[in-house]
Amino acid sequence: MILHTEKFLENWKKILFKLYEYEEYMDFVVVPSLTKVKTLSYMPLLNYSNRESSDVLDLLELAKDNNYQIRTLNSNYKNFQESDTVTMRLDISSRDEDYVFSKIIKSKCRNQIRKSIKNNLHIKVGEEDLLDDFYALFKKTMHRYGTPVFSKDLFSLILKNVKAKLFIVYKDNKAISSLILICDEKLSIVPWAASNYEFVNYCPNHLMYYEAIKYSISQECDVFDFGRSGYLTSSTYKFKEQWGAKPVKIDLISSQEQNIYSKYSMASKVWKKLPSNVCSYIGPKLCKFLVDL
């Protein structure tokens, strides 16, 4: 199982220390809360770390008597249920664009890629030169989902401290879809993406993800990770499945036994109703204290 590397996690910690002034406790990052309760996290803002679920006994020993949260992949898990949270992974180890396109990506998805090209969309790949366009879309998307938005500084620090690129699709010079791609040796991941639903019929996401996959192949990655989804239950799951991606269960090993997604369902409904300028002001400050993001 290809996971994050230790070198990447060290750089990720530097980003968090710079952005939020978090403290470190042995292998963990200490995440504060608004109620003054601290949680030992391994690893904040990532869907998983460099550990599988079967390889965390030492971390559990270090974290005992504390609140803790450990994010891992469980490659042995096979009996998926609709309540499961998974990450969707595409095998690109052949490193052959034609093979991935013709043999792995499903026919409907291939047609939508072709449609996006015929719709005269164009894509830009860059770094901080595209950050404003990325962040404008990202803010609106997070508000639509009812999720507090990260500070723009987070993405600036990512672009400066790890191997990352922004992919943005434009229609008539208007940014309509975007993602950030992070490469960690043999693994490429899309932790965050955003889009303008008014342009969904142009299939901008198909062009964007296809270009990101081709870029990952050029960087000699073996796995393209589309990111987190609810198993079978979400539109994002269905979108990622059509690329030939397969689910791998994400385990959230925690001292607090609760479903974090149901925990925040009411808060999400309230957040969606707040004015966008209020969310843009409060969200980046609030994210520092939300260990579950």
Residues 15-29 pLDDT 10s: 999 999 999 999 999
In the chain, what percentage of residues exceed pLDDT 70? 96
Residues 168-212 pLDDT 10s: 999 999 999 999 999 999 999 999 999 999 999 999 999 999 999
Q: Which residues contact 290 (CB under 8 A, 6 or more apart)?
A: 148
Q: Counting runs of H as helices and runs of E as strands, what totals does the chain give?
A: 11, 11
Look up the CATH number of domain 85-123+156-249. Answer: 3.40.630.30
Instruction: Specify the pLDDT at position 263.
Output: 59
Instruction: Specify the pLDDT at position 175.
Output: 97
Residues 104-113 pLDDT 10s: 999 999 999 9
Residues 224-235 pLDDT 10s: 999 999 999 888
**Cβ neighbours of 126 (radius 10 Å):** 14
> Residue 146: which pLDDT band, with cuts at 50, 70 and 90?
confident
Would the pLDDT of 261 be above 60?
A: no
Instruction: Specify the pLDDT at position 285.
Output: 92
Ranges of beta strands (E only) in the chain are 23-25, 28-31, 39-42, 68-74, 85-91, 122-126, 164-171, 174-184, 187-195, 223-230, 246-254
Would the pLDDT of 237 be above 90?
A: yes
Domain residue limits, the chain: 85-123+156-249
**Average confidence score pLDDT of the chain:** 93
**Cβ neighbours of 215 (radius 10 Å):** 17
Q: Mean of the pLDDT values across residues 145-166?
A: 96
Q: Where does residue 258 rank: exposed (0-12), middle (13-18), buried (19+ CB within 10 A)?
A: exposed
Q: For the whole model, what pTM was predicted? A: 0.94
Task: With H, G, I as helix, E, B as strand and everything else as coil, classify residue 88.
Answer: strand
Instruction: Specify the pLDDT at position 124.
Output: 97
Partners of 251 in beta bridges: 72
Residues 80-114 pLDDT 10s: 998 899 999 999 999 899 999 999 999 999 999 99
Instruction: Specify the pLDDT at position 155.
Output: 98
Looking up tokens 């940014």, which residue turns up?
A: 175
Partners of 89 in beta bridges: 225, 246
Cβ(21)–Cβ(288) below 8 Å: no
What one-character-per-residue DSSP string does 155-223 give? HHHHHHHSSEEEEEEEETTEEEEEEEEEEETTEEEEEEEEE-GGGGGG-HHHHHHHHHHHHHHHTT-SE
Instruction: Specify the pLDDT at position 278.
Output: 82
Instruction: Specify the pLDDT at position 228.
Output: 94
